[in-house]
Structure formats: C-alpha cells, structure tokens
Amino acid sequence: MKTVVMWFRKDLRLEDNTALLRALTELKDDEQLLCLFQLNPKQFKTGTKNHDYFFSALAHFEQVVKAQGLPLHFMAGEPLASFQALKKAYPDWRKVYLNGDARGQGQVRDEAMASYFRSAGIEFVVTQDSHLHGENSVLKKDGSYYKVFTPYYLQWRQLPKRPAVKLVEFSAKVVAEPDKFRAGQTAFQAVIAEIVHQFEHVGEQQAEARLNEFVMEEMSRYDKRRDIPAIKGTSRLSSYLRTGELSIRKVWQVAAAMPESDGQQTFLKELAWRDFYHMIYSQNPQQKTEELKEHYRQLPWRQDPQLFQRWAEGQTGFPIIDAAMQQLNQTGWMHNRLRMLVASFLTKDLLVDWRLGEAYFAEQLIDYDPASNIGGWQWAASTGTDAVPYFRIFNPTSQSEKFDPEGQFIRRYLPVLKEVPRAWIHAPHLMPQEVQEKVGVVIGKDYPVPMVDHQEARKLVLAFFKQ
C-alpha cells in the first residue's frame, strides 16, 4: 500500500484544515495516510512563553486526533535528515500535503524540502491556509505589491472570502505504527516535560468557544472598547490563530454573519491588517533585522542593556508602561494598544533598538506572529511600511489618562500602586511626600522615579531622526 503524508505544523486543528481536507479527499483506495509533526530543535527556545504555549497546544492536539482515529507521529532532528529517513522506512511514499509557510525561516525550510521532495519523486502539495488572502492575492493593477494599507484594504475587502469547510466523517486508512517513531515520540515527551509555563485554555474547542463568545457578546462594541486595557474589549483570538487551533476563515465567516455594526467592521478590518503584514514580510524577508525605509537603516539606535532591562522588567517609572510589561511577563499576552505604547516608549523615549524589543516579544508572546510583530515594531519605530511618522510620539502619561482613567489596569498589574489616589496614579512621582508616606509608596524606594523626562526625550528623538 502506498503512503501519503500529512505534515502538520502551525495548523493544529481538524476543522477547515486545508491541507488535511485535501489529503483526505484525494486519498485513493490503495493509499494510507501518515500524519506527522517534525520537531526541529533549532526552532525551539525552551522556557519561553512562546515555546511553552505552542507545545501545550500541540500536546492537546495529539490527544484530540488520537481520539478521532488519526494518530500523530513525531520525527525529531534536522528536517531533511528526518524526511530522508522516512523515505527509507516508507519506500512507497509518493505524496506529502502541507499548509505552506511563505515567510521567514518557515519559507526557507519549505523551499529546501521542496527541492528534496522533487528529487525523491515525492509529489509536494502546498496549500494556503493561514490567511484569508495569501501573499500574492492582493496586487496592484500592474501586478506589483502594495506598500500602503488603505489602498490594499480597499481591494482586499472586495475579494470573495473562501468559506470554512467542516471535516466530514472520514474512512481513510491511517498509519498507526508507533514503534517506527519511538525516537520522535521520546523527543516530543522530553519537550513537553520541559514546559515551564502552564496554559489551560488551549485547543480547537476552546478557540471556537472564545470566538462565539466574542462575536455574540462583545464584537458590536469592539470599536469603542478595544483600546481600554482594563476590560475584555479585544477578541483574544490571536494565540489560537498563531498555532492554527482556529481557522481564519471560520473567524471571518462567523464574524461577517453577524448584524452589521461599527464594531464588526472595525474587527474585520483588523483581519485585513493581518494579511497586509503577512504580504509585506513575505516580500521583505530581511525585515526582521533591517528597516524597510532605507534612509533609516543607519540610525544609531542605542544597545544599552540597562535601559532595555528596566523596560523589559517594567521598572521605567511610568505606570502604564510598567503595568503593560508586567501583563506580558506574567501572562504571555499584552493588550494591543499597550503593545504600541511600550514599543513607542522603547524606541522613541529611550532610543533603544527596535530589534531588541521585537526579539523580547518573540520570546514572551504566546500569540507571536513574526509578520504582525515585526510590522508593529517597525510601525512604532517609524522605520516600516505605512508607519507612524517619526514626529508622532506617544506620551505615556496622557495615553494612560485617556485609556485607563481610573487606573484599574495599573493597579491590577502594579499592586504596589494599589493605594495611590486617582489624582496621582498616572504620575505617582508627583505625589507630595506626605501622601507617598501615607499610602506606603515612597518614590525611588517602593516605585521607580521616571527613567526619562518625556518632553526632553521628545526633543532628542526629533533630532535623532533628522540627522
């Protein structure tokens, strides 16, 4: 019997999994399906929240597919060597299905593996699964790529969206040979044993429950509530999209089917931003380390480890910045408005290299998506495509007053400031000494003095970009 491989990666679900559905549909009577996950140690960073969330989701997925009669086998090591060994174990292997990766290291890996598969006579079936529209789907009339979001979006919203497809009952012959993959299974169990940060809300079922909760109860007010970090105003779907526990087409289908509202339209536009940044990164693979705007590539960003450490640990003396970093460090997630704010603070107030912040987010965020994260950091640093102008500099104190007026979010993540009166919660260093002593928060002892003067920092960054 011939063997067909389904190579799972960042698509940890059964419903509306493009490559899996195609593999099951096209499987012939004389073929058996082998479901695989390839563990590449070079892509691991054990102990980070990003890593731990993904492998928690993968461990859950393994149990789900096993219960569905679709056992998942593991291989470990460098991808090429793993698949060469697989070919020896299954000489009748003739086809591999996978949801492609069109950017970063995933793209490099896929291109290298495509070359091997062709040389080995294995049909390489790649599908676009992770985005509503792929990197080559929304183009200008002359066939070139957009660099500005608004015209991209105007075309994007006119294009039909592929509907989500449910997984029907399948009767495919599947490979269940754990003995042949014992080394890979052992490697997988070792990775799971090293998980430090535990995450409970993982899996396709949890993802769909959250999607339904959001669209039914919160989406209609999304435009008004999404910038307020103290409340549940955002979708909280990003981690599920990052691992593929949730289909992006399912998100669109469920959200678009609701009665039209400003909140709905604002949310759907965010899905276009996700596609836009994906397209930008796929066309600019150097974007993770190099500014898109050429004239900003020689900026002398600071590499100061002490400044960076105070930012990363939430010890800046600006409560909204510190609370945001505590949210990230404690939970592995940060509110989107605050991502913009802390990125602006690191790059514009401290003049610290945006690449350091991007790399820190890559380790800490459970929803880390390279395209969106890199795009967001270059936006905040004014070095990317369609970025905020360099002279637009977020004032952390006024942003705090606007989006957390009562200080609820600040007090939640900075309990040391819990008793600080509302009048000083956004700038506790302005508290009179007697008030500091009364509430038990002595500035410089219990909570830091602001590490920079924002108005002075503003002057410096304007000169920095003009040089």
Binding positions for FAD:
222, 234-238, 267, 270-277, 367-369
Q: Tell me the C-alpha to C-alpha distance, in Å, between residue 58 and each of 10, 52, 64.
A: 9, 10, 10
The Cα–Cα gap between 247 and 466 comes to 44
Distance CA 430, CA 453 (A): 13
Quote the CA–CA distance of 160 and 214 in Å, as a whole number. 23
Residues taking part in catalysis: 270, 273, 301, 336, 354, 377
What residue has token string 């699964």?
Answer: 129
What phi and psi, each to the nearest 5 degrees, are found at residue 209?
A: -65, -40
Instruction: Identify the three-state secondary structure at position 406.
Output: coil
> Closest Cα partner for 234 from 224, 243, 242?
224
Nearest Cα to 147, choosing from 369, 337, 375? 375
**Residue 213: C-alpha distances to residues 131, 230, 237, 289 (Å):** 22, 18, 11, 38
Strands annotated E in 27-184:
31-39, 72-76, 93-99, 123-127
Strands of the 31-39 sheet, one edge to the other: 72-76, 31-39, 2-8, 93-99, 123-127
Annotated binding site: 222, 234-238, 267, 270-277, 367-369
